[in-house]
Amino acid sequence: MTALSPHSATTRRQALCLAVLCGALLTAGCSSGHIYQVAKLPAEFLYPAKENVQTLDLSRLANPAVSSELIDRGDALDVTIDTGYGTDKPIASPVRVGEDGMAVVPLVGKVPVAGLEAEAAERAIAAMAIERGLYRNPSVTVEMRHQRTNRITVVGAVDKPGAYDLPRATSALLPAILEAGGLTKHAGTVVEIRRPTRTAVVETEGAGPVMGRAETANQQASFEEHSRVQGRPASSLRINLVDAVKQANGGPPLDDGDVVMVENIDPEPVHVIGLVLKPTEVELPANLDLRVLDAVALANGVSTPWADKVHLIRRMPGQDHSIVIEISISEAKSKGQGNLRLGPGDVVSIEQTPLTVAMAALQNFAHFAMGAEIPVP
């Protein structure tokens, strides 16, 4: 067998390299299928911008300011009346405010005190005692023994889920969320309030069974009206925190036994595969946008500078089939076109192209050729 000259061997290797390169180009160009171009992508396949509840000014959810010192129905008070007669120290009498807003004070009788602070209640009791001819100039002291509360249960994406007792006068969405430690990073924008079924008849002190107080009835009517507008059961109400903050409205006051459920978002991760240095699974933030270039960067970038084509494999919620969206990395970087917002379960695949295959083949044969020309001793 005649040995090949070094020049002939080099020429043969170059011919072989060219043949393999052509085969790679043909193979890489054979794939086909229906793919959406990003410039012509229907709006139905786009994810909207996320609202970050962590940046919301939750103080705008506060209901009109109500003093926490106000006496409310169901509160227990200590009432002391000093007439100035005798030397004995006056004794405080325990008094409960009825559902009709009246406090039945010993000897004095019924006095409307609901909605008053302690000082105003003292004046009201003294005036009633003088009006009824009981005392000439009594000194009245009113102290809060026990403030009636609403038991509100807060669950979902809050720091400390649990049941909390809130004063009835300030029982609202914002205090309930703050009492539960605030929102977590996985909190969504939707809060659902569930209200248990209640009986309309209550017992009031000394008055027998009567209908619930007008305030409670109004609150329930407001709650039911909100639910009706949303097309939901009368025992359930949904509030969008973003809309509520913009409108400075935290919804109707909460009542005893209400359950506040803060939406907890735990979406499927985004997968980054293909020509990247570190194929990875990326957690999708609940309140921040993650885009295609962000996902590629989290995978430590592309594994070859020639990689440019991205296939974004997406299945929208409620759809049976996935779609493929073709994106150019260079255009996403230079024009922003194609740097799409990612959604749950998206797959970002950096694709092989004729160019990446050809360049890989050239690099391999360049290494092979260089190695073959090194003489063996």
CATH code for the domain in which residue 112 is found: 3.30.1950.10
> Do 293 and 364 reside in the same domain of the chain?
yes
User: Among 112-121, 215-224, 339-348, which is the least confidently predicted range?
Assistant: 215-224
> Do 253 and 169 reside in the same domain of the chain?
yes
Which run of H or of E encompasses 349? strand 347-350
> Do 196 and 242 reside in the same domain of the chain?
yes
Query: Rounded to an integer, what distance in angstroms lies between the CA atom of residue 257 and that of residue 174?
Result: 16
Radius of gyration of the chain (CA): 37
The mean pLDDT of 302-308, rounded to a whole number, is: 93
Per-residue b or e along 320-341, where b marks 16 or more CB atoms closer than 10 Å to that residue's CB: eeebebbbbbeebeeeeebbbe
The mean pLDDT of 151-173, rounded to a whole number, is: 91
> Do 154 and 256 reside in the same domain of the chain?
yes
pLDDT (tens digit, 9 = 90+) per residue, 110-133?
A: 999 998 999 999 999 999 999 998
> Do 155 and 224 reside in the same domain of the chain?
yes
Range of the domain at 287: 6-50+268-370
> Do 258 and 154 reside in the same domain of the chain?
yes
> Do 133 and 166 reside in the same domain of the chain?
no
Q: Which residue has the higher pLDDT, 68 or 90?
A: 90
**What's the pLDDT score for residue 212?**
38
* Position 239 in a domain: yes
pLDDT (tens digit, 9 = 90+) per residue, 356-369?
A: 888 888 877 666 55
pLDDT (tens digit, 9 = 90+) per residue, 169-218?
A: 788 899 999 999 999 988 988 999 998 876 544 443 433 333 334 445 55
CATH number at residue 325: 3.10.560.10
> Do 140 and 211 reside in the same domain of the chain?
no
Q: How many residues does the chain have?
A: 377
| 318 conformational bin, left if phi > 0, alpha if psi -120 to 50, beta if neither | left
Q: What are phi and psi of 373, to 5 degrees?
A: -85, -10
**What's the pLDDT score for residue 102?**
94
Nearest to 165 by CA among 177, 178, 153: 153
How much of the chain exceeds pLDDT 90, in percent?
43
Last residue of a domain, one of 220, 235, 264: 264
> Do 231 and 176 reside in the same domain of the chain?
yes
Q: CA of 95: how far to CAs of 9, 73, 203, 204, in Å? A: 110, 11, 16, 13
Residue 64 binned pLDDT confidence (cut-offs 50, 70, 90):
low
* Position 44 in a domain: yes
* Averaged pLDDT of the chain: 80
Quick check: 229 pLDDT over 80?
no
Last residue of a domain, one of 264, 286, 303: 264
Quick check: 311 pLDDT over 50?
yes
Last residue of a domain, one of 231, 247, 264: 264
* Position 377 in a domain: no
* Position 114 in a domain: yes
Nearest to 124 by CA among 81, 85, 153, 157: 81
Q: CA of 358: how far to CAs of 117, 275, 302, 364, in Å? A: 84, 14, 16, 10
Nearest to 175 by CA among 331, 214, 159, 167: 167
> Do 38 and 124 reside in the same domain of the chain?
no
For strands 187-194 and 259-264, give the pairing: antiparallel
**What's the pLDDT score for residue 198?**
60
Residue 370 binned pLDDT confidence (cut-offs 50, 70, 90):
low
> Do 121 and 191 reside in the same domain of the chain?
no
The mean pLDDT of 39-50, rounded to a whole number, is: 89
**What's the pLDDT score for residue 206?**
37
Q: What is the three-class DSSP state of 224?
A: helix
* Position 231 in a domain: yes
DSSP string of 20-84? Answer: HHHHHHHHHTT-----EEGGG--GGG-PPPPP-GGGS-GGGGPPSP--TT---TT-EEEEEEE-S
Nearest to 179 by CA among 157, 159, 150: 159
CB of 58 closer than 8 Å to CB of 123: no
* Position 173 in a domain: yes
How much of the chain exceeds pLDDT 70, in percent?
76
* Position 118 in a domain: yes
CB of 59 closer than 8 Å to CB of 65: no
* Position 138 in a domain: yes
> Do 153 and 196 reside in the same domain of the chain?
yes
| Tally of domains in the chain | 3
CB of 81 closer than 8 Å to CB of 132: no
